[in-house]
């Protein structure tokens, strides 16, 4: 029997569909708990969060929780893998672009920009010591976990549901970060709709068929807000510390690991079709990307190594890179 429920967390709509004999009310417990704990720990908007505590201590050595250490090490790994394009130390740049409160709070406001964004920091702004379980953030920098922690949470929740609750089939959609397993039925894949950013007709959606794996979509068209210097969005180009200006407006990445999918979807939006795809193909493994450009073109790009069993329906006019 399938159990389904939805809720709001981490500034996102969370949709869950699970095949299990366990009552829905019991299955909700580990899911809601997982997202709530992550929000309380990693949000830069909550003054009591561990993230806010560490940001306030930039330049100083601070001890961290096991979960924080895990995410910090992942962030460092993906920063190296993407040649610095992915970087969680963009909190200060986001604040100076007007993203000083949760998106729900700013989307109806005209935000005042105080001063130009800072110059990019050179090298690694984080010093992580896994043996001491400590971190030192470069003085004056702030972390923002929005580019990694939602997928990390969804993946952790999915793993816990499978191991501790024996959920045979599942679908978790955390605001565009999707983790599926087991197929929708014994011989049927999950069908995941990917909206065309230039079409409002649901019939224009692309559908991905995937039994087990991960999908993440990132876009510069959704989280946007008005400022006295013009419209801004949340994807910060670490080369300029400004909202990115690439030709890619939406990117969907599929693979086995949801965290990697979310990171690469954002990096491809930030770096653009030429530079981003070249890096993606060299550094990723067993992944595929679907990119929409600002002029309406659609491109597919695959990792040079590895593959993932899946299929698409509804793709029209796409070109391979």
Q: What is the pLDDT of residue 123?
A: 55
pLDDT tens, residue by residue, 39-61:
999 999 999 999 999 999 999 99
Per the listing, tokens 């997928």 go with: 151
Pairing of strands 248-255, 213-219: antiparallel
pLDDT tens, residue by residue, 59-69:
999 999 999 99
Give the CB-side neighbour count of residue 253, counting CA atoms within 13 A: 28
Q: What percent of the chain is helix, strand and coil (3-state, nearest 5)?
A: 30, 30, 40
SS3 label, residue 80 = helix
**CATH number for the domain that contains residue 74:** 1.10.3980.10
Sign of CA dihedral 223, 226, 229, 94: negative
- Domain limits at 67? 47-137
* Band (225; pLDDT cuts 50, 70, 90): very low
* Band (20; pLDDT cuts 50, 70, 90): very high
> For residues 316 and 285, which has the higher predicted lDDT (pLDDT)?
285
Question: How many distinct structural domains can be found in the chain?
Answer: 1
Q: Is residue 164 part of a domain?
A: no
Q: Is residue 39 part of a domain?
A: no
* Alpha carbons 97 and 197: distance in angstroms, whole number: 24
Q: Is residue 34 part of a domain?
A: no
Rg from Cα positions in the chain: 19
Q: Is residue 109 part of a domain?
A: yes
Instruction: Tell me if 264 sits within 8 A of 287, measured CB to CB.
Output: yes
* Band (241; pLDDT cuts 50, 70, 90): confident
Q: Which two tokens stand for residue 226?
A: 């008005």
* Alpha carbons 124 and 106: distance in angstroms, whole number: 30
**234 CB contacts (<8 Å, ≥6 apart)?**
94, 99, 103, 146, 220, 223, 243
Q: Is residue 127 part of a domain?
A: yes
pLDDT tens, residue by residue, 174-205:
999 999 999 999 999 999 999 888 887 777 78
Q: Is residue 98 part of a domain?
A: yes
Q: Is residue 70 part of a domain?
A: yes
For residues 238-264, one letter each, b for 16 or more C-beta atoms within 10 angstroms of the residue's C-beta and e for the rest, the string is beebbbbebebbbbbbbbebbbbbbbb
Residues belonging to the chain? 321
Q: Is residue 142 part of a domain?
A: no
pLDDT of 108 above 50:
yes
* Alpha carbons 26 and 16: distance in angstroms, whole number: 13
Task: Find the angle CA(132)-CA(120)-CA(268) to the nearest 5 degrees.
Answer: 90
Q: Which two tokens stand for residue 165?
A: 């609750």
| Mean pLDDT within 9-32 | 96
* Alpha carbons 151 and 94: distance in angstroms, whole number: 20
């Amino acid at each position: 029997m399938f159990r389904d429920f939805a809720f709001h967390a981490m500034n996102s709509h969370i949709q869950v569909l699970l095949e299990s004999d366990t009552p829905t009310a019991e299955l909700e417990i580990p899911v809601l708990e997982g997202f709530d704990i992550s929000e309380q720990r990693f949000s830069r908007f909550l003054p009591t969060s561990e993230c806010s505590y560490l940001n306030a201590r930039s330049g100083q050595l601070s001890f961290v929780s096991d979960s924080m250490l895990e995410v910090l090490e992942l962030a460092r790994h993906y920063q190296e893998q993407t040649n610095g394009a992915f970087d969680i130390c963009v909190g200060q740049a986001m604040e100076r672009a007007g993203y000083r409160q949760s998106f729900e709070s700013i989307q109806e406001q005209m935000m005042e920009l105080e001063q130009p964004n800072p110059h990019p920091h050179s090298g690694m702004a984080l010093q992580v010591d896994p043996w001491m379980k400590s971190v030192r953030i470069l003085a004056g920098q702030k972390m923002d976990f929005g580019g990694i922690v939602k997928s990390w949470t969804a993946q952790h929740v999915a793993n816990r549901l499978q191991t501790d609750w024996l959920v045979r089939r599942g679908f978790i959609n955390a605001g565009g970060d999707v983790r599926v397993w087991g197929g929708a039925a014994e011989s049927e894949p999950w069908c995941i709709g990917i909206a065309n950013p230039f079409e409002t007709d649901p019939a224009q959606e692309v559908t991905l068929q995937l039994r087990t794996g991960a999908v993440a979509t990132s876009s510069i068209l959704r989280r946007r807000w008005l400022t006295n210097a013009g419209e801004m969005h949340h994807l910060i180009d670490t080369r300029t510390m400004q909202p990115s200006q690439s030709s890619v407006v939406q990117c969907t990445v599929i693979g086995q690991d949801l965290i990697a999918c979310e990171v690469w979807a954002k990096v491809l939006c930030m770096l653009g079709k030429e530079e981003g795809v070249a890096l993606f193909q060299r550094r990723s493994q067993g992944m595929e990307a679907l990119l929409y450009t600002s002029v309406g073109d659609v491109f597919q790009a695959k990792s040079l190594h590895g593959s993932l069993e899946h299929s698409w329906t509804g793709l029209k006019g796409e070109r391979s890179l």
